[in-house]
Amino acid sequence: MIEKPYHVPLRLGLLSAAAAEPFLTEDLLKGVAGHAGVDLDKVVDRLPEDDPRWEVEPLRDLIEDAKHAFEDNRTQADAWLAPRLHAALRLTRREAADRRLWTHLALAVAPDYVAWRHRSRTTSKIGPERFRGAPDRQCFSRLWWAAEMFRDGADYTPVVTACGNQDLIHSALRRELIDHRPIAQALVQVMERGVAVTGREIEGLMTAVSAAGATLVYDALAPDVPRDPGVVRTWIEEAAHVSVPRRVLPDGPDEEPVPKKSVSDLTDFFADLFETAPVRGRAVKE
Amino acid sequence: MKFYPYKRLNRPIALRVTSASLKLPDNTRDLLDTSAWSVPQRTVALGVAQHDDWTSARIGLSATLPPGAVADDAPWTGLKVLVTLADGETNVRTSVELRQDAPGSKEWSGFVEVNRDDHVGRAFLSAQAVATVDDVAGRSVAETDEDWTVDVTADEPLGGLRLDVKQVGFAKSSREWLHAYADAPWIVDASGRVPAVLVNTDVEGFADLLDAESGGMENKVHELLVTQMSTDVWTAVFHSAVGDLETESDGTPVFPTDWRGEVLREMLPDVAPGVHVEEALRRVHRRRTGDAGWVELQTRIHYAAVRRAGVSRALSQALRALQQSNRGDHA
């Protein structure tokens, strides 16, 4: 199994997929052997020196703690790590959309975590997309984005629920539906109420919600409040002074929560929709 | 054609950008002139004023509803017009309501705020008219048929595929991964956020030739090279786009939301002619992931790339210039 790299960079950088390709060797993707960190370091584009956000140590500590705490159940690490990674690595969405940052984190800083979390039990392989793939597949960016999309203002509790169900984050993150915050919150509520829980049920619900969206405008049916960009800015500036708590949930950026009425209206609507939604393996109710 | 189980309007909403201003770090506003947006390209370029440090932009909009929307006997109540700003790269989706210019008017107007921190490249604006129809609230009764593009970095309101062209000496570049390509005059990197062409300045005279605007033979060779590069780019981006498709649970491929989607929509009509783009994407995806047909498709992909790059025109011009110059030599 891949161990922590011998050479861990001190600061996060940007690693393009083309530059990363030679390091995604057969051995690495089998989880057999890591890479020589020193060579990898030569192909990394640097980030500004004076920004404390790019220090690797706090992230590396967090990742070690996740590995240690969830040794026996690695999928559960997602719900623990997602909010904490989001609070430790404070980014604007513009910055988080840069895949090179995530590729660097996965390949240079924590390849051992990627291998531990994503090596398939059946094929003993790690998908290359876990290192340098689409935002909803890559090991760390999927967690960061799950936290960003499912948090309710400063409250990360819905993130924990969402990430506790692999099927939900898998099918939600690749759809644009959850870009509307009330939809994301309502999906979590539907799951908490026990309406749709299994993978097939969630997939069926999502398809039904998308289909209904062809004639219904969710933005009008369940409006959101405008976001204040200053709040995230301030939160990012505080990054240097905080350490992320391990036992309790951290606080996210103090944005206006999603309007309660919008969430409860949509939750009721989704629950009704699910009653008649076609779900594989479920008999259609008359 | 879509079928709707309720009454709605057949014609689209016409959406126009009427103003754009940038908010600067000192809280002042810079009102951009009309060159910042293009109506035929349906694009707003927020980089026109060369401010790198703007924090947000306010885009003024006006929408004209199709006839019948505000008629007294319209089959709906509580009509609203919503403009949505969406960015698939950063998962941003914000909606604002427009205000009716006067009671009973078809004209509605308002503005949308674009936060700089929320976007990398392009975001899209669309409008929808929403009303309560047959006691069902929130129904869409009309929408725009084509989005407006808001490009946060572009300094010209141009549509189409955006390329990043960089000149570097491959052999001594600080990007060590380029060393492996030291003997190539150029390479295409389609793995990044926007596709990039890296031109190798180590090939002597190559950079000069590419910068040549002198006319004559150099110019023709220059054009030929550029179209050759463009062909490579189009081929590479098509493969990159089609190789990275997300699928629905039933296996239907989904159009990507970034430039990959633009590339596919642009090229698919030439790759799989005669069918709707959605169907074309399904066919191409089936061929790539299935057992047969992918190899045969390469010719069509190459053809689509060549057409886009304008190779035939550049080639015939270069050939003509060559003939003329040969005649000159013999004279």
SS3 B122: strand
Q: What is the pLDDT of residue B113?
A: 96
**B265 & B143 share domain:** no
Domain boundary among A121, A143, A165: A143
- The answer to whether A220 contacts B191, with C-beta atoms less than 8 Å apart, is no
Tens-digit pLDDT profile for residues A48-62 = 888 999 999 999 999
Q: How far is A68 from chain B (nearest CA, A)?
A: 32
Q: How far is A42 from chain B (nearest CA, A)?
A: 7
**B268 & B171 share domain:** yes
- The answer to whether B246 contacts A219, with C-beta atoms less than 8 Å apart, is no
Does A121 fall in a domain? yes
**B142 & B254 share domain:** no
User: Closest to B257 (Cβ–Cβ): which among A19, A176, A215?
Assistant: A176
E strand map for chain B:
14-23, 29-31, 37-38, 43-45, 56-64, 76-87, 92-97, 99-100, 107-115, 122-133, 136-143, 148-151, 164-168, 186-189, 196-200, 246-247, 253-254
Alpha carbon separation from A53 to A11, A80, B119 (Å, rounded): 9, 21, 20
Q: Contacts of residue B115 in chain A, CB cutoff 8 Å? A: 227, 229
**B181 & B308 share domain:** yes
Q: How far is B91 from chain A (nearest CA, A)?
A: 5
Does A167 fall in a domain? yes
Q: How far is B22 from chain A (nearest CA, A)?
A: 15
Annotate A59-95 with DSSP letters as a single string: HHHHHHHHHHHTTT-GGGHHHHHHHHHHHHS---HHH
| Nearest in space to B280 (alpha carbons), one of B265, B291, B302, B299 | B265
Rounded CA gap, B267 and B263, in Å? 6
Q: How far is B99 from chain A (nearest CA, A)?
A: 14
Q: Say yes or no: B276 contacts chain A, CB-CB below 8 A.
A: no
What is the complex's ipTM, to 2 decimals? 0.93
Does B250 fall in a domain? yes
- The answer to whether A178 contacts B82, with C-beta atoms less than 8 Å apart, is no
**B172 & B294 share domain:** yes
Name the closest residue on chain A to residue B84, using Cα atoms.
A219
Does A252 fall in a domain? no
- The answer to whether A22 contacts B177, with C-beta atoms less than 8 Å apart, is yes
Tens-digit pLDDT profile for residues B282-292 = 999 999 988 78
SS3 B104: coil
**A43 & A119 share domain:** yes
In degrees, rounded to 5, the angle at the alpha carbon of residue A8 between the alpha carbons of residues A6 and A9 is 145
Q: What is the pLDDT of residue B292?
A: 81
Does B328 fall in a domain? no
Reply yes or no on whether the pLDDT at B212 is more than 70.
no
Residues B196 and B189 sit within 8 Å (Cβ to Cβ) = yes
Does B38 fall in a domain? yes
Q: How far is B270 from chain A (nearest CA, A)?
A: 27
Annotate B266-291 with DSSP letters as a single string: HHHHHHSTTS-HHHHHHHHHHHHHSS
SS3 B112: strand
- The answer to whether A203 contacts B249, with C-beta atoms less than 8 Å apart, is yes
Name the closest residue on chain A to residue B173, using Cα atoms.
A43
Domain boundary among A143, A176, A196: A143
Q: Say yes or no: A240 contacts chain B, CB-CB below 8 A.
A: no
Q: Could you give the percent of chain B with pLDDT greater than 70?
A: 96
- The answer to whether B91 contacts A17, with C-beta atoms less than 8 Å apart, is no
Task: Provide the whole-model pTM.
Answer: 0.84
Domain boundary among B151, B184, B208: B151
Which of A179, A234, A279 is best to mutate for the B interface (most B CBs within 10 A)? A179
Does B207 fall in a domain? yes
| Nearest in space to B191 (alpha carbons), one of B173, B168, B164, B167 | B164
Q: Contacts of residue A22 in chain B, CB cutoff 8 Å? A: 177, 180
**B172 & B138 share domain:** no
Annotate chain A with DSSP letters as a single string: -PPSPSS--SB--B--HHHHGGGS-HHHHTTS----HHHHHTTPBP--TT-GGGBSHHHHHHHHHHHHHTTT-GGGHHHHHHHHHHHHS---HHHHT-HHHHHHIIIII-HHHHHHHH--TTT----THHHH--TTTSTTHHHHHHHHHH-BTTB-HHHHHHHT-HHHHHHHHTSGGGGSHHHHHHHHHHHHTTSS-SHHHHHHHHHHHHHHTTTB-HHHHS--PPP-HHHHHHHHHGGGG----SSSPPP---PPPPPHHHHHHHHHHHHHHHHHS--TTSPPP-
Tens-digit pLDDT profile for residues A129-187 = 999 988 889 999 999 999 999 999 999 999 999 999 888 888 888 888 999 999 999 99
Reply yes or no on whether the pLDDT at A108 is more than 90.
yes
- The answer to whether B189 contacts A96, with C-beta atoms less than 8 Å apart, is no
- The answer to whether A229 contacts B92, with C-beta atoms less than 8 Å apart, is no
pLDDT band at residue A286 using 50, 70 and 90 as cut-offs: very low
List CB contacts of A191: < 8 A, sequence separation 6 or more. Answer: A161, A162, A165, A168, A197, A202
**B314 & B176 share domain:** yes
Domain boundary among B119, B151, B183: B151
In chain B, residues 89-148 whose CB comes closer than 8 Å to chain A: 89-96, 113, 115-120, 128, 130, 136-140
Tens-digit pLDDT profile for residues B41-90 = 899 999 988 888 999 999 999 999 998 888 888 899 999 999 999 998 89
| Nearest in space to B267 (alpha carbons), one of B284, B289, B252, B253 | B284
Q: Tell which wins on pLDDT, A261 or A32.
A: A261
**A129 & A5 share domain:** yes
The domain of B294 spans 164-323
Residues B262 and B124 sit within 8 Å (Cβ to Cβ) = no
pLDDT band at residue B329 using 50, 70 and 90 as cut-offs: low
| Nearest in space to A145 (alpha carbons), one of A197, A199, A110, A99 | A99
Does B159 fall in a domain? no
Does A246 fall in a domain? no
Q: What is the pLDDT of residue A39?
A: 80
Residues A178 and A184 sit within 8 Å (Cβ to Cβ) = yes
pLDDT band at residue B118 using 50, 70 and 90 as cut-offs: very high
Does A108 fall in a domain? yes
Reply yes or no on whether the pLDDT at A13 is more than 70.
yes
Residues B53 and B24 sit within 8 Å (Cβ to Cβ) = yes
Q: How far is A127 from chain B (nearest CA, A)?
A: 13
Reply yes or no on whether the pLDDT at A284 is more than 60.
no
**B34 & B77 share domain:** yes
**A4 & A137 share domain:** yes
A vs B, Cβ pairs < 8 A, gives 112
**A192 & A271 share domain:** yes
**B121 & B168 share domain:** no
Q: Could you give the percent of chain B with pLDDT greater than 90?
A: 40
Does A82 fall in a domain? yes
Q: How far is B294 from chain A (nearest CA, A)?
A: 23
Annotate B220-264 with DSSP letters as a single string: HHHHHHHHHHHHHHHHHHHHHHHHT-EE-TTS-EE--SSHHHHHH
Q: What is the pLDDT of residue B222?
A: 79
Residues A18 and A46 sit within 8 Å (Cβ to Cβ) = no
Look up the CATH number of the domain holding residue B65: 2.60.40.10
**A170 & A105 share domain:** no
Q: Contacts of residue A108 in chain B, CB cutoff 8 Å? A: none
Residues B54 and B24 sit within 8 Å (Cβ to Cβ) = yes
Average pLDDT over residues B246-263: 80
Residues A95 and A101 sit within 8 Å (Cβ to Cβ) = yes
Tens-digit pLDDT profile for residues B163-186 = 777 888 888 887 788 888 988 888
Q: Say yes or no: A281 contacts chain B, CB-CB below 8 A.
A: no
Q: How far is A149 from chain B (nearest CA, A)?
A: 8
Q: Tell which wins on pLDDT, B293 or B64.
A: B64
Tens-digit pLDDT profile for residues A262-272 = 999 999 999 99
**B117 & B169 share domain:** no
Rounded CA gap, B310 and B299, in Å? 16
Q: How far is B308 from chain A (nearest CA, A)?
A: 25
Q: What is the pLDDT of residue B160?
A: 67
**A164 & A47 share domain:** no
**B94 & B222 share domain:** no
Residues A252 and A168 sit within 8 Å (Cβ to Cβ) = no
Which of B23, B27, B87, B91 is best to mutate for the A interface (most A CBs within 10 A)? B91
**A127 & A48 share domain:** yes
Q: Say yes or no: A10 contacts chain B, CB-CB below 8 A.
A: no
Q: Contacts of residue A266 in chain B, CB cutoff 8 Å? A: none
Q: Contacts of residue B197 in chain A, CB cutoff 8 Å? A: none
Does B20 fall in a domain? yes
Quote the number of domains for chain A.
2
Read off the amino acid at residue A31.
G
Q: Say yes or no: A38 contacts chain B, CB-CB below 8 A.
A: no
Reply yes or no on whether the pLDDT at B228 is more than 80.
yes
| Nearest in space to A184 (alpha carbons), one of A145, A230, A233 | A145
**A92 & A173 share domain:** no
**A134 & A156 share domain:** no
The domain of A207 spans 151-224+259-286
Domain boundary among A108, A124, A143: A143
Q: Contacts of residue A103 in chain B, CB cutoff 8 Å? A: none
Tens-digit pLDDT profile for residues B119-141 = 998 999 999 999 999 999 999 99
Name the closest residue on chain B to residue A223, using Cα atoms.
B95
Residues B271 and B280 sit within 8 Å (Cβ to Cβ) = yes
Q: Which residues pair with B96 in a beta bridge?
A: B83
Reply yes or no on whether the pLDDT at A20 is more than 80.
yes
List CB contacts of B40: < 8 A, sequence separation 6 or more. Answer: none
Tens-digit pLDDT profile for residues A209-258 = 998 998 999 999 999 999 888 999 999 999 878 889 999 999 999 999 99
Does B297 fall in a domain? yes
**A52 & A30 share domain:** yes
**B249 & B212 share domain:** yes
Q: Say yes or no: A215 contacts chain B, CB-CB below 8 A.
A: yes
Q: Say yes or no: A211 contacts chain B, CB-CB below 8 A.
A: no
Does A68 fall in a domain? yes
Quote the number of domains for chain B.
2
